[in-house]
Structure 1
Amino acid sequence: MKNTKDFYNKTASEWADKWYDDESLIPYIKEFFNYLPKKPRILDLCCGAGYESMRMKKLGADVVGLDFSEESIKIANERNSGISFVVEDMLNDYSYLGKFDGCVVIAGFVHIPNEKLSKAFEKIDNVLNDNGFLFIVVKEGTGKNEKSSYATIDGEDYDRDFYLHTLEELKGYSSGKFDFVKELVFENASQWEYYIFKKCSTNK
């Protein structure tokens, strides 16, 4: 059975077709930007084909996008100028990218089980400036979601390891590195949860 990376390499163009014209996240991104300096340096972690990277650049940010899907990054580079995109796993050390005012993880944590969340937060902490901010988008729940994990495409079976997370889980696994700031709620109904965290001021 093919894995998460295989799934996104296979479906990269479909995600791009869907999301480059979908501006539903703009209110959330604008609210997140209210916590950041003017013209912030942003890491778009698990950026996919670069659609939200594009929108953040249009809002004035200096953006770096990171994703482990080579096909997604290929599309991101083709469709954007003035944005740096790198192929990398979010659980690896990407501190070579430098420091950032903010980091967004839009649906990236849905592929991270609880036992790896602490490591994911640690890697983000390493690249955020003091008092930097983190924007996380997750689906509410606990454990692996079987329905969202498994797919068959062109006769091939895929398991993209889709995990649900509660706010309490995120708080617990980020403890000592990040403080919860706010849940973002707008009028449009969504199956997703939107949270802002701040790097702990006492974090060393």
Structure 2
Amino acid sequence: MRAPDPEFLRTTRASYDAMAEDYTDRFADGLSDLPLERALLTAFAELAAGPGGDGTARPPVADLGSGPGHVTARLHRLGLPVFGVDISPRMVALARAAHPGLRFHVGSMTDLDLPAGSLGGIVALYSIIHVPDEHLPSLFAEFHRVLAPGAPVLLAFQSGAEDGTLHLDERFGRAISLDYYWRSPGSVTAHLGKAGLELTAQVMREPAGEEKRPRALLLARRPQEPSRRSQQEP
């Protein structure tokens, strides 16, 4: 029997179900005013579309915490085979309606129903922000499990010089119960390293528009596995 979801997953699901329509209206194209995020998605797409270690094409990539589906749609336009995963059934329904040609699934990034090594990349833009610190090691271990060797990861999250939290009981006039975690790039990079994922690039930008905190964007990857020949060399 599968263990019950942790409390933070239940409250995150319920909160986004409650505000799904309002959130989608506000962020239907959440990348329109974010040129740096768009540029890094393009870089991610180039990395993910490269040949695999055996010369074959990469497997599909996953947009985790896909929300309204705009990031999934952009990755599709960049030429990647891609699907979205979101904890909120209502968010998934709205994403499917807005992007009928793409795949969206209800699920949790903490426990992906995918075979080991089956993904050619992971994008998680502003979705690890609801994962408590004590669950980050298992989250990034799950990323490592499902990624193919050499596959990239792109993360974006609210940041600052120190880690911190914020709790909201209301958003868009809806009653919710949602915790937000902001983290320094160094703390997230440390968790990635412990999970066997290596950092390849780090970008910080100042708040834009209505944003109140700096944004961190990290590119990482699951390292390529050494060839049998290199393992045998002295």
TM-score (norm 2): 0.75
Within the candidate set 28, 44, 67, 1:20 is matched to 28
1:1-80 alignment, distance < 5 Å: 3-22=11-30, 23=32, 24=34, 25-37=37-49, 41-80=60-99
Runs of 4+ in 1 over 6 A off after TM superposition: none
Aligned to 1:196: 219
Cα shift at 1:95: 1.6
Q: Report what 1:169 is aligned to.
A: 187
Equivalent position of 1:123 in the other structure? 142
**Range moving further from structure 2, 108-117 or 30-39:** 30-39
Deviations 1:80-100 (A, max 9, x none): 133211111111232259712
117 and 153 in structure 1: CA distance in 2 versus 1, 3 angstrom threshold: closer
Aligned-residue CA RMSD (Å): 2.7
Instruction: Note the 1:88-99 alignment, pairs <5 A.
Output: 88-96=107-115, 99=118
How many Å separate the matches in 2 of 1:201 and 1:10?
Answer: 42
Alpha-carbon distance between aligned partners in 2 of 1:185 and 1:81, rounded to the nearest angstrom: 34
2-structure distance, mates of 1:109, 1:97: 21
**CA separation of 1:16/1:98 partners in 2, compared to 1, >3 Å: closer, same or farther?**
farther
Q: 1:61 to 1:188 in 2, by over 3 A?
A: farther
1:175 Cα deviation after fit: 1.9
Report the Cα distance in structure 1 between the residues aligned to 2:203 and 2:43, rounded to whole angstroms: 8
Listed as ranges, the gaps of 5+ residues in structure 1 are: none
Higher-Rg structure is: 2
* Corresponding residue for residue 6 of structure 2: none
Whole-Å separation in 2 of the counterparts to 1:196 and 1:126: 17
Task: Verify the 8 A CA contact 1:111 1:162 in the aligned structure 2.
Answer: yes
